[in-house]
A and B are shown apart, each in its own frame.
Chain A
Amino acid sequence: MADLITQPNLPDPDGFYADLIKTYEALDEDAVSGFSARLILLLTNHIGDHDVISQAVEEAVRTNLKAEK
């Protein structure tokens, strides 16, 4: 079973982050969730491993730190 990579894996973290925010900021409030959904679907198909995706889903649920307090 493949493990979800949680160590740094992006060659240019600042560049990636800037592009992501720029793309989101160009969207209307209404368009954001549809865009996110399409992005998630494209990326999950690319990963193609149900196990890894499940680990990512669990990790995303678990790291909602503000809700823990």
Chain B
Amino acid sequence: MIHDRYSLAFKLYPYERNADQDSATPVRHPVVIVGGGPIGVATALDLGLQGIPVVVLDDHEGIGMGSRAICFAKRTLEIADRYGCGKPMLDKGIVWNLGKVFHDDRKVFEFNLLPEEGHKYPAFINLQQPFFEKFIVDRVRKAQAAGAPIQLRGKNRVDQVTVRDDHVVLDISTPEGTYTIEADWLIGCDGASSPLRGMMGLDFEGRVFQDSFLIADIKMLNDSFPTERWFWFEPYFKSGASTLLHRQPDDVWRVDFQIGWDVDRKEEMKEENIRRRLDAMLGPEVSYEMVWSSIYTFQCKRMERFRHGRVLFAGDAAHQVSPFGARGANSGIQDVDNLGWKLGMVLKGQAPERLLDTYDEERTFGADENILNSTRATDFITPKSKISHVFRNAVLDLAERHAFARPLVNSGRLSVPCTYDGMSLNGEDALPGPARTRPGSPCPDAPLGDGFLLSQLGNDFVILTINTDAPDTLQEDGVTARHVAVRSEDDTSGALAERYLGDASRAVYLIRPDQHVAARWDRYDETAIRAAMRTACAKD
């Protein structure tokens, strides 16, 4: 029997018998993904859209209940847009820009994310995780209808894995008994407590933080708050050592109380006790209903390596951070973005297997950056020593009066995409261009005619020329780069020039399928581009 460990928000992939269960010998699949959460399903979507057959196994039949991750960053939305599911997220999500920081009963300061003009997507939206996941699954269903070879198998629990040199054997339980399949490649997207990682006996090292947080998502019935992020250090209403208030769609507010380490979870989760904290914060006249609540603790850790032969790990299964900064789900989607094209090229015979080692190289680098940022935020929010607490409050006192101390206030450094500086896929930087588009950088968006630049990039290698020319396509060792030509006439806002030209009058960029810059030049040089394409595919 497979028992549900949680209840579902959306039952999207109910158990169905599949042909593999009736096969006399184990069927071999190119890619199997363990875990049908946002990272697993997005990975399946990336591969399926490339025409690669992929099977997703999950021990439930859909998306778990509970808002959980609520802040989705621009880069995540851009990646979703490349997959064709960015728009429903933006339509449903709440766009916010203003944050306020309070200490006790005083406002310390406020900040505006000051989103840069000229991007298709905003800096952040708030959206309950089940909707985020559902929009990805909806997109998978459309892709399947159009022929994408993706299978989502609910109530298929992996009980055992046997890792061989060139494939993996999986023993699977279903409500109708067990069966066995094989995978050329296995991707573990089965979350922070990853059973797959456990079955393989792999390490997961890092730091445990001794604090608990109580989430109460509430629906306001007779009152409202502005669409802003409010964060209290040591709030006057004493409902927690810190408190966060943040808006979600459908008049739901996220309230997050820091409640200490030695708490009686069962007691704290009682509705009357949660309401006591909320009433102290909101005042007696505000009425609300409880939508979802949970107590969480967290750790900042990662696997030493994300690739183990034919097994790759992504998302929370590979790395875990504190929630401050929204670097969990957002970094997981960057894993997908990074892994999809690399595994696709290896499977299509366009690149050597060692291209997948650069998934490990680039995404462990990204994970370290996220862990560093979220650890620093956590240390500021929950000081670990008396002197740390003294300095934290000194910063807050100074920040109320003086601008210089405000950058020191850390209630979470919000997720931004990783720039893969100094990594092995980067080619040359032969353009006196802006630093933000140096090799390794994610391409910033820019308005272009009636649309946006990013809509034209991605999925393949692209040779982007600005004010100069190139052939329509260039083939190098089985890999095709397509040409995208833009000129200053299309750049009425000047954003393209500012982001891609700097002081140069023309430029040529080689851009990877994940919209990261591979190399750039001040003119079209076929030999140089061919070399950079080889480097970006781990061939040299």
A interface list, Cβ under 8 A from B: 33-34, 37-38, 41-42, 45
Contacts and interface: CB of A to CB of B under 8 A. Distances in A.
Given A38-B397, A38-B398, A33 B390 contact: yes
B279 to A, nearest CB: 32
Nearest to A37: B394
A42 B393 CA distance: 14
A34 B404 contact: no
Contacts, number: 22
A31 B117 CA distance: 46
A42 B399 CA distance: 11
Given A38-B394, A41-B398, A42-B398, A33 B404 contact: no
Interface string B313-348: 000000000000000000000000000000000000
B114 interface: no
B408 A41 contact: yes
B207 to A, nearest CB: 23
Contacts of A38: 394, 397-398
B390 to A, nearest CB: 5
Interface SS majority for chain B: helix
Interface residues of B, number: 11
A37 B390 contact: yes
A41 B390 contact: no
A34 B398 contact: no
A15 to B, nearest CB: 26
B208 interface: no
A37 B405 CA distance: 12
Give the most central of B387, B391, B394: most A CB within 10 Å.
B394
Interface of B: 387, 390-391, 393-395, 397-398, 404-405, 408
B404 A37 contact: no
Contacts of A33: 387, 390
A38 B390 CA distance: 9
Nearest to B390: A33
A18 to B, nearest CB: 24
A66 B394 CA distance: 29
The 7 A-B residue pairs with the shortest CB-CB distance in the complex, in nearest-first order = A37-B394, A45-B404, A38-B394, A33-B390, A37-B391, A37-B390, A34-B390
B393 A34 contact: yes
A34 B383 CA distance: 14
B234 to A, nearest CB: 14
Nearest to B392: A37
Nearest to B397: A38
A20 to B, nearest CB: 18
A45 B390 contact: no
Contacts of B398: 38, 41-42
Contacts of B397: 34, 38
Contacts of B408: 41
A33 B385 CA distance: 13
B406 to A, nearest CB: 11
A44 to B, nearest CB: 10
A24 B387 CA distance: 18
A34 B394 contact: yes
Nearest to B399: A41
Nearest to B405: A41
A45 B404 CA distance: 7
A13 to B, nearest CB: 27
Nearest to A35: B394
A42 B404 CA distance: 9
Nearest to A39: B394
A37 B399 CA distance: 13
Contacts of A34: 390, 393-394, 397
Given A37-B393, A41-B398, 19 more contacts: A33-B387, A33-B390, A34-B390, A34-B393, A34-B394, A34-B397, A37-B390, A37-B391, A37-B394, A38-B394, A38-B397, A38-B398, A41-B394, A41-B395, A41-B405, A41-B408, A42-B398, A45-B404, A45-B405
